[in-house]
Structure 1
Amino acid sequence: MRHYCTQMGIAALLLLFALPSFAQHDDGQAEAQGHNQKIINRHSIFPHLRAAAFISHTFIPGVAEGSRFAIPSYGLDIEYWFDETWGVGLHNDIELESFIIEGEQEEFLERDFPLVSSLDLLFKPWKGLAFQIGPGVEIDKHETFLLFRLGVEYEIELGHHWDLYPTFFYDTREDSYTTFSIGLGVGKRF
């Protein structure tokens, strides 16, 4: 009987010491679940993908006589935002006319509905203000140019992850002409 009581006493002491560790495990598990819930909630509130379409006018200094200075263009952007501040975007636009650029040595460069595509780093320092910077390419049937893009836009939230945004960007082509564009677009986050 004495041996049985000793075993029961030891078992009771072990159980007494083990209960707080079980409770800590449960508290830690609940805390981890709460942390995971916060992560899930944050991701459900902040959609990382954004698609946008815009219409703009591309201003082309140095166009030859008879060509227009401002050319209408349409664009489509696909962006991935890592968080509320940093992202990357594939920005594409097509200029909707043929035009001729007069070069510095009086040579002429013909462009037919060129497609411009850039891969940009995105930075949003304050509310809806976003800056973009990155390399790109302009393609048409005559010649392809590498370019570098700088841009700024301001997203105005419309609700349900929709936004309206005015945009301005400047493109400089390698060993060729420069353009700047002003436009208005609509975007949706997913």
Structure 2
Amino acid sequence: MRKLFFIMVTLAVTGVTVDSVYAQELHHHHESIHENEEHGKHKLSVYGGFTHVDAAFYEHETHEESTGKWIPTLGLEYFYTLSHKFDIGLLADMELDEYFIQVNNERELLRNNIVVATAVLRYKPMKRVGIFAGPGVETEFIEDEDSESFFVAKVGIDYEVEIAHGWELTPVFSYDFKEHYSSYSFGISLGKRF
């Protein structure tokens, strides 16, 4: 009889624990959906950070002397929420510097205020963490007859920190694979959901 009583009490306590854990998870899921509905499916952000270009060197240097350059970068980001796991977005970054890269080991190409525009798909494996990737193009802000554009494949990771009323602060790391060279960026974006 004691064993039966002990088993019943254990099952009752375990059942309550499982029910309460399930209820909390269900509440968290509804809260997440409600949060997106409350602030909207759109997010517009401004970005500031630095881009490291390994292949970059200035006119007074040679390629052999260069160890790459850190370049101040500003940008705009737009994301649209498809579901609680997926967003699509448009990213546009501008590197605020003029430098040279070596192309095909034979000529130096001037890069002046580079703009990188990409379309990305963002996957959220956890509530605030996002992993994104997509194709794009690199071009110069003001093109002339010597300007060249390159294909870009961007990958990155970010973490959204909610501030209040739909405002978010998001640290971002991204890597750009380009035709003749690559770069990586660290920065932070300030965005508003609407």
* Shorter-chain TM-score range: 0.7 to 0.9
Are residue 158 (structure 1) and residue 163 (structure 2) matched? yes
Question: What is the aligned partner in structure 2 of residue 84 from structure 1?
Answer: 84
**Structure 2 residue corresponding to 1:177, chosen from 175, 181, 184:** 181
Tell me the secondary structure at the aligned position of residue 45 of structure 1: helix
Contact preservation (8 Å) 1:85, 1:123: yes
Partner of 2:4: none
Paired amino acid for 1:180: Y
Question: How much is the aligned-residue C-alpha RMSD, in angstroms?
Answer: 1.9
Identity %: 31
Structure 2 contact 57–69 (Cα < 8 Å) conserved: no
**Structure 1 SS opposite 2:124:** strand
Partner of 2:125: 125
> Structure 1, unaligned stretches of length 5 or more?
1-37
Q: Which amino acid aligns with 1:76?
A: L
* Contact 2:39–2:165 (Cα < 8 Å) also in 1: no
Which of residues 142, 145, 148 is equivalent to 2:150?
145
Superposition map of 1:22-61 within 5 A: 42=34, 44-45=37-38, 47-61=40-54
Q: TM-score, normalised by structure 2?
A: 0.72
Q: Shift of the alpha carbon at 1:158? A: 0.6
Task: Output the amino acid matched with 2:102.
Answer: E
AA in 2 matched with 1:183: G
Structure with bigger gyration radius = 1
Letter in 2 for 1:135: P
- 1:86, CA displacement in angstroms? 0.4
TM-score, scaled relative to structure 1: 0.73
Q: Which residue of 1 aligns with 2:25?
A: none
Unaligned runs of 5+ in 2: 1-29
From 28, 37, 55, the equivalent of 1:62 is: 55
Look up the match of 1:18: none
Q: Single out whichever of 117-126 and 62-71 deviates more from structure 2.
A: 62-71
Aligned pair 1:186/2:194, yes or no?
A: no
The answer to whether the Cα contact below 8 Å between 1:60 and 1:70 also exists between their aligned partners in 2 is: yes
Per-residue deviation, residues 48-107 of structure 1 (Å, max 9, x unmatched): 100011101010002225486100010100110112210100000100011111345142
> After the TM superposition, which parts of structure 1 deviate over 6 Å for at least 4 consecutive aligned residues?
none
